[in-house]
C-alpha cells in the first residue's frame, strides 16, 4: 500500500512537473521564457542528440558555430554514455530517470570547482597557520628588542639631561660672572678715575677728558638707579667727589682763559691808566663814530673771540650733560657768572664814560642825546649778545641781567635830563625816538639780543610819558585856559584882509611874470561851487577870475599861522600827545584840552564882538570851531570821559523831613525819623559821560544859531520887531475880538492893528524901506565877512540859506498880517510890501552886484532867486578836498501863518537853523582837510 501511495505521489509530482515544464514555453505568460539565442541553442542540442548536424542555428555568426562545435566535441559522460548506448527514451519514466542522472552529473560537475577551491583554501589555511607561527616568533623577538631599546633609550636620555643641565649651569655661571664683572666695573673705576683726576699732567682740553666725564656720569647714574647695592652710597659719594674735581678743573680752566683775555684788553702792553684811556677812546670810536675800526673791535671783542673756541669746547661738554646732573647746571651758571663778570669789568666803566661823553657832546640837544645814546646801547647789546653765544650755546638769564646793568647806566644818565625838560615838543620827540625808533624798529628787528634794552627803554619811555602828562596839564592851564590874547591876536578881520591882499598881490605878480604864456581859465576852486541858473551862468563859471580861485584855495583863514593861538596850540599839543602816551591818558588830556580851547575861543569871540561887530565874533568862533572839529577827527580814540560825582540832593530833602518829624526821632515803630533819614539821606553816586566831540558840535550848533538870528535881525530887524509888536498887540486885545490870524472879514476887531499908531501905513512903509536899505547896503558886507572868515562856499551857502529864508519869511509874514487886518488897497499901496518873489530877486541882485573882492574881482554868490512856485531847489556842491562828488541838499521853505508869537523866527530857527548847524558840522571835514593833513604829519 505504501508503494502504491508513493507511486501515486510520484506520479502526481511528475504530472505537476510536466505541467510546469509545459508552462515553460507557453506563448502567453511562460514560466521560463527563452530568448531567441537560447532557443537556438536548445534546438541545436536537440539536433546533436538526434544526430542531425546540419540543422541551422539561426544567425548567431560563424564564431558561435565554431564555439558550439568545439564544445560539442567534449560531451559529458552521461551524454557520451547516452550516445554510445544508443538508448532510447520511450517513456516518461525513462526520461525522468535519465534526467535525474543527468542532473546529478551536472551537480557533481558544478561541485568540482568548489571542491577544488576548497582544497586550495585548505592549503592556504595551512600555509597561514605556519606563517602565523613564524609571526608570533618574530613578535616575540621584536618585543625583546623593544625592551632592550627602551632600556638603552632611557639611559641615553638621562645622559642627555645630565649634559644639558651641566651646560645650563655653565651658562648661568658664565652669565653671572659677566654680570658681576659689569656691575663690578662701576665700583672698580672709582680709584682709577680719582687718581687720573689728581694727576697733575691731566688736561681739561685733552680728548680723553670727555671719556672721564662720561664714565663718571654713568657710574653716578648707576649708583642712583641701584641704591640697594652694597656700598652704593659710599661709591656714589666717591664719584660725586670726582665730578666735583672735574668741574673745578673745568672752571679753573675757563676762568684762566677769560681772565687772560680780560687782562689783554685792560693792559695791552702799557700802563694801566694809558690802557684805560685807550680802551675808552676805542669804545667811543667803535660805537659812536661813523665806522668801527679794526683795532677797536679787536681790543674789545677780538681777544675774547680768539679765546672762544677753547672755552666753547668745555662749555659744550657741560651743556650736553645738563640733564644728567644738577652739578653741571651749577657749573654752567658759575661759568656764565665768571664770563659776565669779566665782561662787566671791561664794559661798565667804558659805557658809563662813553654815555657821559655823549651827554657833553650833545649838550642842550636832548633828542640827539637820547638818539645817539640809545643807538650806542643797541650796538653794545647786540655785540655782547653775539659774543656771549661765541662762548655758550644755551641762553642765560644772567646775560639779561648783565645787559640790564649796562642799560641801567643809560637810564641813570638820561633820566635826570628828561625830568628837567619842560618843552612838550622835545618830550614828544624823545617819546617818538624811544617808542618808534627803538622799540618798534630796533627791538622788533632783534628781540632776543635787545630784550634787556627794551625793558630799560620802556621804563625810560614811561618816565617820559609821565613827564609829558605833567607838562601837558601845566601847558593846558597856562597857555590855553589862562591865555591872555594880545591886540594882534584879536585883530579880526584886519589880519584876514591883510593876508588876503598879500596872497592876491603875490598871485598878480606871478600872473604878470607868466603873461606871455597864458592858459585858459577854468574852475579850480578847491572848496565848492554853487550852480544856479539865475545867479551864475555856465559862462560865468568858466570865466571865474583867478583871484577867486586863489582866495578859495589859499584862504588866509585856513592858513595854519592864522589860527587863533589857543586853537593852534591845542591841536599841536594833541597831535604831539596822540602818538606818545596811552589812549586812556590821551582821552583825559584831550577832554581837558578841548574844554579849555572851546572856552578860550568863546572868550576871544566875545572880545572880537566887543571891539568890532557881533558878526565878526560869531564868524570867528564858527571858523575855529570848524577847524577844531575837523582837526580832532583823525585821532582814532574815544573822546568820551566818565565823571563820577555824589548827588547830595536827597540828603537835603531827608534832613528837611527829619526836622519836620522831630517828635518821631525815638519812635520804636517803622516810621522812625532817624532811620528814615539814614535810609533816604544816603548820597547817590552818579556817573556822567563827557564827550568832547559832542561838546564841540554843541557849541558850534549854538554859535551857528546865534549867527543866523543876528544876521537876520541885522538885515530885517525892523520888520521882525514890527511883527513881534503886532502879534503882541493882537494877542492882548480884549475878549470877544478874534485874533488877527483867525479874522477873515472886516469889522472893528480887524481894525485894532490898523488903528494902532505904530502900525500906520506910513510907519510900516518906513520900516520896509529901512529893511530894503539894510539888505542893499549890509548884505554885501555880510557876504564879504562870511567869505573872509569861512572861505568855503559850501559852508557859506549853508549858513546863508536860513538867513535868506528868514528874510523872505519876514516879508511874507508881514504881507499876511496886512492882508488879514483890514488894510485897504490904498494902505497897501502906501506900505508897498514886496512879495516873496521880489525879495528873492532883490537878494540875488544884491549877491551879483556885491560879490566883488577887495581888488574889484567878482566873487561867488550865495544862491539864486527862489520863488513861491519853486519851494524846493537843489544845490550841487563839489570839493577837490574830498572825493569830488556832488552833494545835493534840498531846501524847503515852510511858512505858516498861525497866530503864535515870533512865528517867523520860531519856524526858521527850529527847522532851518538846527539843520544848518548840523550841515556845517558835516561839511567841516571838507573845510579843513588840507590843514588836517599838515597837522597829522
| Exposure on the CB side of residue 445, measured as CA atoms within 13 A | 7
Does residue 101 have a cis peptide bond before it, meaning omega lies within 30 degrees of 0? no
| Exposure on the CB side of residue 366, measured as CA atoms within 13 A | 22
Q: Specify the DSSP class assigned to residue 493.
A: T
The residue among 930 and 121 whose pLDDT is bigger is 121
The pLDDT tens digits of the residues spanning 485-522 come to: 888 888 888 888 888 888 888 887 777 665 555 544 33
Give the pLDDT band (50/70/90) at residue 52. low
At CB < 8 A and 24+ separation, what contacts does 796-799 make?
A: 796/860, 796/862, 797/528, 797/530, 797/862, 797/863, 797/875, 797/877, 798/889, 798/916, 798/919, 798/920, 798/923, 799/622, 799/704, 799/707, 799/708, 799/916, 799/920
The grid coordinates of residue 753 equal 492893528
- Least confident window among 615-624, 742-751, 799-808: 742-751
Q: Mean pLDDT: which of 25-29, 398-402, 725-729, 918-922 is highest? A: 398-402
The residue among 268 and 717 whose pLDDT is bigger is 717
The pLDDT tens digits of the residues spanning 124-162 come to: 999 999 999 999 999 999 999 999 999 999 999 999 999
What is the structure's pLDDT at 128?
Answer: 93
The pLDDT tens digits of the residues spanning 324-378 come to: 888 999 999 999 999 999 999 988 888 898 899 999 998 889 999 999 999 999 9
What is the structure's pLDDT at 283?
Answer: 54
List, as one string, the DSSP characters of 722-760.
Answer: HHHHHHHHHHTSPTTSPPGGG--S-STTTHHHHTSGGG-
- CB count in 10 Å sphere of residue 675: 14
- CB count in 10 Å sphere of residue 612: 17
Give the pLDDT band (50/70/90) at residue 739. very low
* Element of type H or E holding 872: strand 872-877
Mean pLDDT of 43-51: 75
The pLDDT tens digits of the residues spanning 173-205 come to: 998 888 888 878 888 888 888 888 888 888 888
Q: What is the distance between the alpha carbons of residues 283 and 300, in angstroms, rounded to a whole number?
A: 8
Question: CB-based contacts of 737: which residues, under 8 Å, 6+ apart?
Answer: 748, 749, 752
Q: What is the distance between the alpha carbons of residues 816 and 739, in angstroms, rounded to a whole number?
A: 13
State the Rg of the chain over Cα: 68
Give the CA distances from residue 15 to residues 5, 10, 11, 30, 31, in Å, rounded to whole numbers and listed in that order.
15, 8, 6, 17, 16
Give the pLDDT band (50/70/90) at residue 865. very low
Give the pLDDT band (50/70/90) at residue 45. confident
Question: CB-based contacts of 438: which residues, under 8 Å, 6+ apart?
Answer: 374, 378, 453, 457
Give the pLDDT band (50/70/90) at residue 802. very high
384 alpha-carbon distance from chain centroid: 36
Contact of 631 with 924, CB cutoff 8 Å: no
Give the CA distances from residue 267 to residues 262, 272, 805, in Å, rounded to whole numbers and listed in that order.
8, 6, 93
The grid coordinates of residue 833 equal 510890501
512 alpha-carbon distance from chain centroid: 60
Residue closest to 300 by CA, chosen among 348, 334, 335, 336: 348
The residues with which 875 forms a beta bridge, in sequence order, are 889
Q: What is the distance between the alpha carbons of residues 88 and 94, in angstroms, rounded to a whole number?
A: 8
pLDDT exceeds 50 at position 884:
no
The grid coordinates of residue 773 equal 536899505
Contact of 503 with 554, CB cutoff 8 Å: yes
The pLDDT tens digits of the residues spanning 451-491 come to: 999 999 999 999 998 999 899 889 889 888 888 988 888 88
Task: Report domain extents, the chain.
Answer: 1-33, 178-245, 700-936
Coil, strand or helix: which one is 354? helix
Give the CA distances from residue 339 to residues 176, 384, 392, 489, in Å, rounded to whole numbers and listed in that order.
50, 11, 10, 66
Contact of 738 with 753, CB cutoff 8 Å: no
What is the structure's pLDDT at 156?
Answer: 92
Residue closest to 694 by CA, chosen among 702, 684, 682, 706: 702
Q: Specify the DSSP class assigned to residue 343.
A: H
What is the structure's pLDDT at 384?
Answer: 92
Burial 260-293 (b: 16+ CB within 10 A, else e): ebbebbbeeeeeeeebbebbbebbbbbbbeeebe
Q: What is the distance between the alpha carbons of residues 466 and 353, in angstroms, rounded to a whole number?
A: 28
Question: For the chain, what is the mean pLDDT?
Answer: 75
Contact of 507 with 620, CB cutoff 8 Å: no
pLDDT exceeds 60 at position 56:
no
The residue among 890 and 260 whose pLDDT is bigger is 260
Q: Mean pLDDT: which of 382-391, 502-511, 643-652, 737-746 is highest? A: 382-391
Query: How many degrees, rounded to 5, is the angle at CA 680 between CA 677 and CA 684?
Result: 130
Give the pLDDT band (50/70/90) at residue 231. confident
Max distance between CA atoms of the chain, in angstroms, equals 207
Coil, strand or helix: which one is 828? helix
pLDDT exceeds 50 at position 744:
no
Contact of 768 with 796, CB cutoff 8 Å: no
Q: Specify the DSSP class assigned to residue 894.
A: -
Q: What residue spans of 632-750 are helical by DSSP H? A: 649-660, 673-680, 692-731
pLDDT exceeds 50 at position 423:
yes
Q: What is the distance between the alpha carbons of residues 77 and 81, in angstroms, rounded to a whole number?
A: 6
pLDDT exceeds 50 at position 529:
no
Q: For 418-443, what is the HEC assignment?
A: HCCCCCHHHHHHHHHHHHHHHHHHHH
The residues with which 26 forms a beta bridge, in sequence order, are none
Amino acid at each position: 500500500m505504501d508503494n502504491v501511495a508513493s507511486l501515486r505521489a510520484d506520479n502526481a509530482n511528475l504530472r505537476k512537473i510536466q505541467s510546469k515544464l509545459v508552462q515553460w514555453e507557453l506563448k502567453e505568460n511562460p514560466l521560463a521564457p527563452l530568448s531567441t539565442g537560447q532557443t537556438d541553442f536548445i534546438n541545436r542540442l536537440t539536433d546533436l542528440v538526434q544526430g542531425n548536424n546540419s540543422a541551422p542555428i539561426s544567425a548567431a555568426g560563424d564564431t558561435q558555430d565554431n564555439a558550439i562545435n568545439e564544445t560539442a566535441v567534449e560531451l559529458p559522460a552521461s551524454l557520451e554514455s547516452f550516445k554510445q548506448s544508443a538508448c532510447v527514451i520511450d517513456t516518461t519514466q525513462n526520461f525522468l530517470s535519465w534526467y535525474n542522472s543527468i542532473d546529478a552529473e551536472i551537480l557533481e560537475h558544478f561541485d568540482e570547482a568548489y571542491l577544488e577551491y576548497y582544497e586550495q583554501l585548505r592549503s592556504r589555511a595551512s600555509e597561514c597557520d605556519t606563517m602565523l607561527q613564524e609571526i608570533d616568533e618574530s613578535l616575540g623577538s621584536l618585543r625583546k628588542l623593544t625592551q632592550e631599546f627602551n632600556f638603552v633609550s632611557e639611559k641615553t636620555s638621562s645622559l642627555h639631561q645630565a649634559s644639558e643641565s651641566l651646560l645650563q649651569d655653565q651658562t648661568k655661571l658664565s652669565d653671572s660672572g659677566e654680570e658681576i664683572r659689569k656691575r663690578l666695573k662701576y665700583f672698580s673705576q672709582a680709584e682709577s678715575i680719582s687718581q687720573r683726576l689728581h694727576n697733575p699732567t691731566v688736561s681739561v682740553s685733552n680728548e680723553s677728558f670727555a671719556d672721564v666725564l662720561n664714565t663718571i656720569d654713568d657710574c653716578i647714574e648707576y649708583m642712583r638707579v641701584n641704591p640697594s647695592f652694597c656700598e652704593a652710597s659710599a661709591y656714589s659719594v666717591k664719584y660725586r667727589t670726582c665730578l666735583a674735581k672735574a668741574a673745578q678743573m673745568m672752571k679753573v680752566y675757563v676762568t684762566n682763559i677769560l681772565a687772560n683775555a680780560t687782562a689783554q684788553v685792560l693792559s695791552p702792553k702799557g700802563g694801566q691808566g694809558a690802557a684805560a684811556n685807550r680802551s675808552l677812546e676805542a669804545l667811543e670810536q667803535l660805537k659812536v663814530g661813523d665806522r668801527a675800526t679794526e683795532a677797536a673791535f679787536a681790543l674789545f671783542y677780538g681777544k675774547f673771540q680768539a679765546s672762544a673756541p677753547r672755552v666753547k669746547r668745555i662749555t659744550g661738554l657741560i651743556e650736553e650733560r645738563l640733564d644728567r646732573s644738577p652739578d653741571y647746571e651749577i657749573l654752567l651758571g658759575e661759568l656764565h657768572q665768571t664770563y659776565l663778570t669779566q665782561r662787566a669789568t671791561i664794559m661798565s666803566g667804558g659805557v658809563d664814560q662813553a654815555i657821559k661823553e655823549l651827554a657833553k657832546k650833545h649838550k642842550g640837544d636832548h633828542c640827539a642825546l637820547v638818539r645817539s645814546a640809545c643807538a650806542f646801547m643797541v650796538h653794545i647789546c647786540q655785540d655782547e649778545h653775539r659774543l656771549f653765544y661765541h662762548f655758550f650755546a644755551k641762553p642765560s638769564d644772567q646775560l639779561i641781567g648783565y645787559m640790564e646793568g649796562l642799560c641801567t647806566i643809560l637810564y641813570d644818565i638820561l633820566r635826570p635830563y628828561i625830568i628837567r625838560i619842560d618843552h612838550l615838543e622835545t618830550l614828544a620827540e624823545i617819546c617818538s625816538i624811544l617808542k618808534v625808533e627803538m622799540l618798534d624798529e630796533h627791538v622788533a628787528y632783534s628781540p632776543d639780543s635787545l630784550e634787556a634794552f627794551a625793558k630799560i627803554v620802556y621804563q625810560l619811555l614811561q618816565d617820559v610819558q609821565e613827564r609829558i602828562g605833567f607838562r601837558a596839564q601845566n601847558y593846558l592851564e597856562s597857555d590855553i585856559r589862562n591865555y591872555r590874547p594880545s591886540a594882534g591876536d584879536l585883530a579880526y578881520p584886519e589880519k584876514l584882509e591883510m593876508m588876503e591882499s598879500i596872497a592876491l598881490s603875490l598871485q598878480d605878480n606871478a600872473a604878470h611874470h607868466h603873461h606871455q604864456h597864458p592858459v585858459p581859465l577854468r574852475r579850480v576852486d578847491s572848496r565848492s561851487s554853487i550852480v544856479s541858473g539865475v545867479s551864475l551862468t555856465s559862462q560865468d563859471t568858466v570865466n571865474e577870475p583867478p583871484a577867486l580861485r586863489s582866495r578859495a584855495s589859499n584862504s588866509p583863514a585856513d592858513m595854519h599861522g592864522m589860527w587863533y593861538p589857543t586853537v593852534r596850540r591845542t591841536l599841536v599839543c594833541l597831535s604831539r600827545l596822540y602818538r606818545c602816551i596811552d589812549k586812556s591818558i590821551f582821552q583825559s588830556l584831550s577832554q581837558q584840552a578841548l574844554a579849555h580851547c572851546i572856552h578860550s575861543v568863546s572868550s576871544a569871540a566875545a572880545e572880537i564882538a566887543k571891539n568890532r561887530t557881533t558878526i565878526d565874533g560869531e564868524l570867528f568862533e564858527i571858523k575855529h570851531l570848524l577847524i577844531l572839529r575837523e582837526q580832532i577827527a583823525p585821532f582814532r580814540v574815544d573822546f568820551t570821559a566818565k565823571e563820577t560825582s555824589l548827588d547830595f540832593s536827597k540828603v537835603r530833602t531827608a534832613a528837611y523831613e527829619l526836622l519836620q518829624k522831630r517828635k518821631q526821632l525815638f519812635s520804636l515803630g517803622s516810621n522812625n525819623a532817624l532811620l528814615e533819614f539814614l535810609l533816604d539821606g544816603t548820597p547817590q553816586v552818579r556817573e556822567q559821560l563827557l564827550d568832547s566831540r559832542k561838546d564841540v558840535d554843541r557849541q558850534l550848533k549854538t554859535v551857528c544859531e546865534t549867527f543866523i538870528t543876528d544876521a537876520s535881525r541885522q538885515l530885517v530887524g525892523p520888520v521882525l520887531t514890527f511883527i513881534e509888536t503886532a502879534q503882541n498887540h493882537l494877542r492882548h486885545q480884549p475878549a470877544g475880538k478874534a485874533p488877527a490870524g483867525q479874522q477873515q472879514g472886516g469889522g472893528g476887531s480887524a481894525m485894532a492893528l490898523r488903528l494902532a499908531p505904530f502900525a500906520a501905513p506910513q510907519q510900516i512903509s518906513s520900516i520896509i524901506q529901512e529893511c530894503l536899505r539894510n539888505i542893499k547896503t549890509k548884505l554885501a558886507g555880510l557876504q564879504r565877512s562870511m567869505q573872509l572868515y569861512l572861505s568855503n562856499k559850501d559852508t557859506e551857502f549853508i549858513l546863508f540859506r536860513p538867513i535868506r529864508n528868514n528874510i523872505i519869511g519876514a516879508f511874507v509874514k508881514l504881507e499876511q498880517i496886512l492882508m488879514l487886518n483890514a488894510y485897504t488897497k490904498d494902505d497897501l499901496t502906501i506900505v508897498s510890501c514886496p512879495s516873496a518873489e521880489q525879495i528873492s530877486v532883490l537878494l540875488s541882485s544884491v549877491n551879483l552886484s556885491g560879490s566883488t573882492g577887495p581888488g574889484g574881482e567878482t566873487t561867488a554868490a550865495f544862491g539864486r532867486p527862489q520863488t513861491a512856485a519853486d519851494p524846493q531847489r537843489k544845490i550841487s556842491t563839489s570839493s577837490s578836498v574830498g572825493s569830488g562828488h556832488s552833494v545835493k541838499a534840498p531846501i524847503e521853505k515852510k511858512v505858516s501863518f498861525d497866530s503864535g508869537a515870533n512865528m517867523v523866527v520860531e519856524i526858521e530857527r527850529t527847522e532851518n537853523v538846527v539843520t544848518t548847524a548840523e550841515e556845517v558840522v558835516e561839511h567841516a571835514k571838507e573845510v579843513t582837510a588840507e590843514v588836517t593833513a599838515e597837522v597829522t604829519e
